[in-house]
Amino acid sequence: MKGWHRYAIAVVGGLAVGLCGAWALTDGGLGDGAIRNGPWTTSLGYGTKATDPLTRAMVARSGLLALPAKETVYWMAKTDASGARLDGDCRYSLSGAPLDARWWSITVYDDSGYLVDNPARLWSVNGANVALDTKNEWRVTISPNKPKGAAWLPVIKGRAFQLTLRMYNPGDAFRAAPEKATLPRLVKEAC
């Protein structure tokens, strides 16, 4: 092998390793933020000018055009309360008290962060369309099949999924300690 062949292989290999490395490094998504609260994770640094190039690239891939924390806090859940991966073959109970925000919503996405079609054409619940019980709590069933007598958020059999909880104009108490705030419970009931 001639010397320049070795250099050519090294340059091509270096380009490939560099591009793959950049893709892998920016793949963390919003869910790998610094703040954890049960199965939910977030970072309050998104949507600001002060973030470093790596964070900016990660946000651009997973949450392009996201708002800063004062306006909206985005929480992501990829696991249930026990730490197990969210699975479209299982049934989950999602419940809680009204959240400390002007408005909130919870949306189901696939693993890449996109909406997936389902027969009910339903992808989210929000603070205005959940019913409160006598204990001032709401409850939603996340499952592939429609539950009887319960609010439903459909998922697709055989496919992993993620949840994004959006809190618009979160309250001062929440913003002072988001890791201690009471967030919705996400418990696996059956598979």
Partner 1 sequence: MRNWFGPVLLGLIVAAATMWAAILYLPYGLMDIAMNRLGQGGINSMSHGNLATPERQPVVRPSPDLAYSSCPYDLSQGPLAIDVVPVPGRYSSLSLFDAATDVIFVRNDVEAAGKPYRIIVAREGQVVPAGAEIVRTDQDRGIALIRLLLREPAEIGALDAARRQSSCRTVINPK
Among 81, 89, 124, 188, binds partner 1 (CB under 8 A): 124
Say how many C-beta atoms besides its own lie within 10 A of residue 170's C-beta. 23
Contact positions with partner 1 (CB under 8 A) in 131-190: 164, 166, 168-169
Could you tell me if 46 and 62 are in contact, meaning their C-beta atoms sit under 8 angstroms apart?
no
Tell me if 109 contacts partner 1 by CB under 8 A: yes
- Single out the residue of 82, 120, 121, 148 in contact with partner 1 (rule: CB under 8 A): 121
> Using an 8 Å Cβ cutoff, are 151 and 140 in contact?
yes
CA angle in degrees (0–180, nearest 5) for 157-66-58: 75
Is 81 in contact with 185 (CB distance < 8 Å)? yes
Shortest separation between residue 178's beta carbon and partner 1, angstroms? 19
CA distance 46 to 52: 10
| 25 in contact with partner 1 (CB under 8 A) | yes
C-alpha distances (whole Å) from 179 to each of 40, 134, 148, 157, 182 are: 9, 27, 34, 32, 9
28 to 67, contacts with partner 1 by CB under 8 A?
Answer: 47-49, 51, 53-54, 56-57, 59-65, 67
| Binding footprint of partner 1 on the chain (CB under 8 A) | 1, 3, 6-7, 9-11, 13-15, 17-19, 21-23, 25-26, 47-49, 51, 53-54, 56-57, 59-65, 67-68, 70-71, 102-103, 105, 107, 109, 112-117, 121, 123-124, 126, 128-129, 164, 166, 168-169
